[in-house]
Amino acid sequence: NAGVTQTPKFRILKIGQSMTLQCAQDMNHNYMYWYRQDPGMGLKLIYYSVGAGITDKGEVPNGYNVSRSTTEDFPLRLELAAPSQTSVYFCASSRRTGGVPSGNTIYFGEGSWLTVV
């Protein structure tokens, strides 16, 4: 199993450009997430999805969009890139638990380093 796969690993964008970060998982997980991590900081949740066709905002959703057309894929779209979006982006997934708020192991992709200049 590949686990969670993200592409690209590195990207430089100019202000105002748009791009999509790709994410795919092969563990048949229902839940998928996008986190961003700024230098020396913790992880902030951008968007999450509980299944195909269902997405919702996390803590820092402004400037981003997501879609979930299949269980496997969860792309993150950056519209009109700004320097404040310079960060490391992690896609992650976990399996469904049936509603118990104890949480599951979250499996992270290797990260995408994005610089906006």
Residues in contact with another protein by CB under 8 A are 31, 33, 40-43, 45, 48, 50, 58-59, 90, 94-97, 99, 101-111
- In contact, 3 and 54? CB cutoff 8 Å: no
Residue (14 or 39) nearer to another protein, CB: 39
What Cα–Cα distance (Å) separates residue 25 from each residue in 32, 59, 72?
9, 23, 5
Contact 28, 96 (CB under 8 A): no
Task: Specify the residue for token string 């610089």.
Answer: 115
Closer to another protein at the Cβ: 103 or 117?
Answer: 103
Nearer to another protein, 43 or 82 (CB): 43
User: Judged by CB, which is closer to another protein: 45, or 82?
Assistant: 45
Q: Which of 42, 22, 45, 50 is nearest to 109 (CA)?
A: 22
> Smallest distance from the beta carbon of 86 to another protein, in angstroms?
16
What minimum distance in Å lies between the beta carbon of 83 and another protein? 22
For the CB of residue 111, give the shortest distance to another protein in the complex, in Å: 6
CB atoms within 10 A of CB 6: 22
Q: Give me the least distance between CB of 105 and another protein, in Å please.
A: 5
